[in-house]
Amino acid sequence: MEEAQIENKSALQQKVKDVMSEVAKVVVGQEYMVNRLLIGLFTNGHVLLEGVPGLAKTLTVNTLANVLHLDFQRIQFTPDLMPSDLIGTMIYNQKQGNFEVKKGPIFSNLVLADEVNRSPAKVQSALLEAMQEKQVTIGETTFPLDRPFLVLATQNPVDQEGTYPLPEAQVDRFMLKVTVSYPTKSQELEVMRRMSNMTFNKDVNTILTKEEIFSIRDQVNQVEISESLERYIIELVYATRSPLDYGLKQEAEYIQYGVSPRASINLNLSAKAVAYMEGRDYVLPEDIKEIAYDVMNHRILLNYEAEADGVTTKDIIEKILKQVPIG
C-alpha cells in the first residue's frame, strides 16, 4: 500500500473515532449503539434497534446524521400508515392538468422507522422492498434512493398490544439487530442533568462527508480475512442449523430454524468493519465473536420449549461460540 493511501486510511480511521466523540457530546452512554450504527453504515447494512422507550434511540440517530452531514427523516409507524405515506404518490396538478410525483420520506440518507412493528404488513413490505432493492416505484416510474441509504428501525419489546410483529423472513433483511439497554446509574445521572438544563446545546460539528463514507466502505471491503476464519464463520452458521453435529444436544431441542445464508455474508462484512474501526487491516477471531450476537440473534428461531425454559437466542449463541473451534 502506498504511503499516501496509508495516511488517508489512518486519517479516516481517526475521523471515525471523532464521530463517536462528537455524538457523545449530546448522547450519554450509547457508544455500543453508535458503534453498531456505524458498522451498518460502513457495510451498507440496515439495523434493527430493540429497546424500551426513552433510551435515546431517536436522539442518537438524529445526532449521528448531523455529525455525518446526512439527510435524516423520522417516520412514526402507526396502524393507519399507508405505503404511499412512506414512498410517495402521484398527485394531480390542477394548473398543469397532469399528475406529478410527490416523493415520500423514504428519500433520505438515514431513515428512522420508529416502532416499525406498529404498521400493517403492506407498509412493512414497502419499507423492506426499498431496503432490498434500493429503489421505489411511484406510478410507472422507478426512482433510485439516495446514497448512502440506511434504514434504522426500532421496535418496543414490552408493549405488544396493537402491533404487527415483523415476519422472520423480513427481519432477516436487517444486517444487525441491536438490543439497546438501560444506562448505568452514573450515565443516567448525566442524562438527567443534561436534559434538565433547557439551555443544553445539542449542536455538533460535521466530521465525515458522503465521499469519505464511500471511501471508508472501500477500505472496509479491502480488510483481509483468512480462509480459516471464513470457514469458522461457516461452522458457526451451520452450528445453528445442525447443532447435534457440534455436540450441542441441549440446544438442538430449542432451535426451530437456524440462520440463513445472509448471516454468513453479514458476519464476514461486519467483522471486517469491526477490524477496520479497531485500526487493523485484517480480521481476528475476536472480531467475529464480538459481532456474532448482533448478526445472528434475530435469525435464530426458537421453539415454544425454549420460551418455556427461559432460554434466549443469546444463550444459544454464547454456547455455539464456546463449542465451535476456530480453524
User: pLDDT for 185-242, tens place per residue?
Assistant: 998 898 888 888 877 777 888 898 899 999 999 999 999 999 999 999 999 999 999 9
For the chain, where do the domains classified as CATH 3.40.50.300 start and end?
3-212
C-alpha cell at 201: 446545546
C-alpha cell at 64: 449521528
Tell me, what's the pLDDT at 161? 60
C-alpha cell at 191: 442524562
Q: How far is CA 200 from the centre of its chain?
A: 29
pLDDT tens column, 33-52: 999 999 999 999 999 998 88
Q: Which residues of 241-276 are buried (b: 16+ CB within 10 A; e: fewer)?
A: eebeebebeebeebbeebbbebbbbbbbbbbbbbbb
Please report, in angstroms and rounded to a whole number, the separation of the first and last CA atoms in the chain.
28
Asked whether 83 and 126 are in contact (CB, 8 A), the reply is: yes
Kindly report the CATH class assigned to 3-212: alpha beta
C-alpha cell at 283: 480480521
- For residues 49 and 29, what is the distance between their CA atoms, to the nearest angstrom? 16
Contacts of 95 (CB under 8 A, 6+ apart): none
Nearest partner of 265 among 285, 228, 236, 301, judged by Cα:
236
Q: Residue 297 in 3-state DSSP?
A: coil
Nearest partner of 46 among 58, 37, 55, judged by Cα:
37
Tell me, what's the pLDDT at 158? 61
Give CATH superfamily name and number for 223-323. Answer: Magnesium chelatase subunit I, C-Terminal domain (1.10.8.80)
Contacts of 195 (CB under 8 A, 6+ apart): none
For the chain, where do the domains classified as CATH 1.10.8.80 start and end?
223-323
C-alpha cell at 109: 440518507
C-alpha cell at 16: 471515525
R_g (Cα) of the chain, nearest Å: 21
Low-confidence spans in the chain with pLDDT less than 70? 1-7, 158-163, 327
Q: Residue 282 in 3-state DSSP?
A: strand
